Amino acid sequence: LADHPEPEIATADLTAFTLELACWGSDDVRDLALLDQPPAHALETARQVLAELGAIDDEGRATPRGRVMAGVPVDPRLARALIDGAGLVGARRAAEVVAMLSEDVRAPGGDLVAALRSLRNGDRSASWRTQVKRLEAIAKEQRDGQRGPDDARALTDDVAVGLLVALAHPDRIARKRPGGSSYLMTGGTGAAFDRRDSSPLAGLEWLAVGDADRRSGEREARIRAAAPLTEDLALEAAGSLWTEVDDVTWSDGRVLARRRTMLGALELASVPIKNPPTEAVTAAIGDALESEGIGLLRWSEAATALRTRLDFLHRALGDPWPDVSDEALTTNLDAWLGPQLARVRSAQDLRRIDVGAALRALLPWPEAARLDELAPERVEVPSGSTVRIDYAQEQPVLAVRLQEVFGWTAAPTLADGRVPLLLHLLSPARRPAAVTADLDSFWDNGYPGVRADLRGRYPKHAWPDDPRTAQATRRTNASRDRRR
């Protein structure tokens, strides 16, 4: 056990406290001389609730409605239900429901409408009746000069209770999930009735949840008290949660674009978007390339070769040569694929993009003119052959037959002389014979042993004593003699 009990401010609901703070003209709890500071996450939750209730503005300041709510001696959620609900269902009925919700009400089967009727008919509800009378007076006083009880709509208790609960808890408006028995609330939490309760509300399309709890380890909350609701009344109670969202995603090899009408986490409608914003398409494709890999694009041999050359220059010289790693290309799609992405709607469209041409858009100017000088595709060797350089390795590799580099005293260098080529010297049959980046040292130390081995296996080829001055060749001795 802890040596000292946890302070109340560390565990309490801070909605009322945060509203009072806003009414005092401060949104920073550090302005107060408190023994214990409240948790930051609890304060943020309280601000979110108050914003949904219309009690504070975007700057965290109390609105006129918020100041009125602060003067009602109940939780701000219930104050909102009382004040706004009085003009919708009448001051008396609003007071009845708010008084019921302010107590630890027992709702058989989780049915708040049945619980209200029980309170009205019960002999042991004196405290509730006293609270109703007090709240009704407050509601009438606050509604003075505004739409009064006589203008209230003729709603039955079945939906009036739900409207009032929704006004108090807009984040707990719930809609039944398709094909199941559970619900999703506007706040994003799943909820369901306990099957043992046999609630008469189970299966209704819309609910206003007055009380729910979630046990440790459970995915969904258990609905303890709720009332029926309609979609229209849900929208009226939680209008601040209504949004339209353009949702552009990559799914099963294509771009899906839909405009979703949302009430918090609840989707009310969804329609296709014919021409989604380019930025949204780019973001969706970026997500696809990040999750599925840059291989979604068609990398031709030429495009792959260009990419490896650019990667080498970025590693060897740094800026302004671009980073062409998977992460960098995915992050900077606009910079190299640009307008081409606006026309992409499928994996087939992606594979039609000329990736090589797109990569060239990343080349820095005027350095781009030196690409072939700093990182050439091929290099001419003493035999006259032009051999492709492999930039895919950490150090660029030139794989060439040993006889073709006779006459060289040093391996060529790249990137303004910073990086020597790593020579993979091959036998006449193109099998590995030696690897070196220091050709001068190899001629002195490695070549004699390699020469002795290769001369025995390939006697028709020239294996001179001094490779530095010998003539490079691609041919055997016999074929060379015939050409003479």
pLDDT one digit per residue (tens) for the chain, 484 residues: 445 555 444 446 788 888 888 888 766 665 554 556 667 777 888 888 888 888 888 888 888 888 888 888 899 999 999 999 999 999 999 999 999 999 877 788 899 999 999 999 886 678 999 999 999 999 998 866 454 444 567 788 889 999 999 999 999 999 999 988 899 999 999 999 988 878 999 999 999 999 998 887 788 999 999 999 999 999 999 998 999 999 999 998 899 999 999 999 999 999 999 888 888 888 898 888 888 888 899 999 999 999 999 999 999 999 999 999 999 998 888 888 887 887 888 999 999 999 999 998 888 888 889 999 999 999 999 999 999 999 999 999 999 999 999 999 999 999 999 999 999 999 999 999 999 999 999 999 999 999 999 999 999 898 999 999 999 998 765 555 445 4
Q: Do 193 and 150 have their domain in common?
A: yes
The answer to whether residue 164 sits within a structural domain is: yes
Would you give the DSSP letter of residue 156?
-
The answer to whether residue 272 sits within a structural domain is: no
Q: Do 415 and 430 have their domain in common?
A: yes
The answer to whether residue 271 sits within a structural domain is: no
d(CA 285, CA 265): 24
- Write the single-letter amino acid at 403: Q
Cβ atoms of 75 and 15 closer than 8 Å: yes
Predicted pLDDT at 186 = 97
Predicted pLDDT at 123 = 67
Partners of 272 in beta bridges: 258
Q: Do 177 and 195 have their domain in common?
A: yes
The answer to whether residue 251 sits within a structural domain is: no
Of 329, 344, 373, which residue constitutes the final position of a domain? 373
Q: Do 115 and 173 have their domain in common?
A: yes
- CA distances 217 to 123, 185, 194, 214, 375, Å, are 40, 19, 16, 8, 58
Of 373, 404, 421, which residue constitutes the final position of a domain? 373
- The upper half-sphere exposure of residue 110, i.e. CA atoms within 13 Å in the direction of its Cβ, equals 28
- CA distances 192 to 111, 180, 222, 235, 340, Å, are 13, 10, 5, 22, 47
Domain count, the chain: 4
Task: State the virtual CA torsion across 270, 276, 277, 279 in degrees, nearest 10.
Answer: 90
Q: Do 214 and 119 have their domain in common?
A: yes
Q: Do 105 and 186 have their domain in common?
A: yes
Q: Do 407 and 449 have their domain in common?
A: yes
Predicted pLDDT at 69 = 86
Partners of 250 in beta bridges: 255
Range of the domain at 443: 379-479
The answer to whether residue 275 sits within a structural domain is: no
Predicted pLDDT at 36 = 61
Tokens for 248, please give them.
């552009």
Q: Do 87 and 172 have their domain in common?
A: yes
Q: Do 99 and 229 have their domain in common?
A: yes
Q: Do 17 and 150 have their domain in common?
A: no
Strand 422-426 relative to strand 419-420, pairing: unpaired
* Cβ-based neighbours of 232, under 8 Å, separated by 6 or more: none
Predicted pLDDT at 11 = 44
The answer to whether residue 285 sits within a structural domain is: no
The answer to whether residue 252 sits within a structural domain is: no
d(CA 473, CA 461): 9
Predicted pLDDT at 1 = 46
Cβ atoms of 87 and 152 closer than 8 Å: yes
Predicted pLDDT at 49 = 83
Tokens for 304, please give them.
């792959």
Q: Do 34 and 125 have their domain in common?
A: no
Q: Do 205 and 135 have their domain in common?
A: yes
* Cβ-based neighbours of 431, under 8 Å, separated by 6 or more: none
The answer to whether residue 290 sits within a structural domain is: no
Of 373, 391, 410, which residue constitutes the final position of a domain? 373
d(CA 298, CA 158): 61
User: In which element (H, E) is residue 426 found?
Assistant: strand 422-426
